[in-house]
Amino acid sequence: MFKKRITISDIFPVILFLVFTLSVLCFVAFSAKLYKNIVHQSESSMDTDIAARYMIEKFRSHDELGSIKIADFKGHEAVRLENRVKDELYITYIYVYDGYLREIYAPESELDNYEEDSGTEILEIKDMSTEMISDNLVRFSFVSADDKVSEAVVSIKSEEKSGEKNK
C-alpha cells in the first residue's frame, strides 16, 4: 500500500484559514468593545445635554415676570417655577435628589405634603447648580453620574413693569 506523506503545501491553506479566522474574531471583539465604550460616553454626555435642554424649555414655558426663581426645596437647591391656574398658584420644583433630576408639580398649598423623594425622576443626574447672573440671566450646570458637565445660560425675556424685577 502506498502512504501519502503530508507536506507543508497541504497544511498551508488550513493554517492560513485559521489565522484569518482568528484575526477576524479579534477584530470583531475589539470593535464591539470600542463601540460599547463610545455609546456609554455619548449616553452620559447626552443625559446632561438633555437636562440642560429640558431646563431651557421649562424656562421658556414659564417666562413671565416673577415666575422663575432659584429656591430651596427640602434642603436641595432647586428651580421654582410658578404658574397660576384658575386663581390657584401651582409650583414646579426641579431639583436633584438621590442621583436623579426630579420634578414636583403641585398646588402651593399642598407642597408641605411632599418629600424630596416624591418628585418624578426625569434623568440620572449626579448634581445640579444654578446661579442668577443678573436680573434676567440664569446659569445652570448639570453633572452626570460619570462626572461629565453640561452648562447653559438662559435669558428670562419677560420685562420689568413698574419697578419690579425678575428673580
pLDDT digits (tens, 9 = 90+) for 116-150: 888 889 888 888 988 888 878 888 888 887 788 88
pTM of the model: 0.68
β-bridge mates for residue 76, sequence order: 73
Residue spans per domain, the chain: 39-155
pLDDT digits over 1-45, tens only? 667 777 778 888 889 999 999 999 999 999 999 988 888 777 666
Q: How far is CA 14 from the centre of its chain?
A: 52
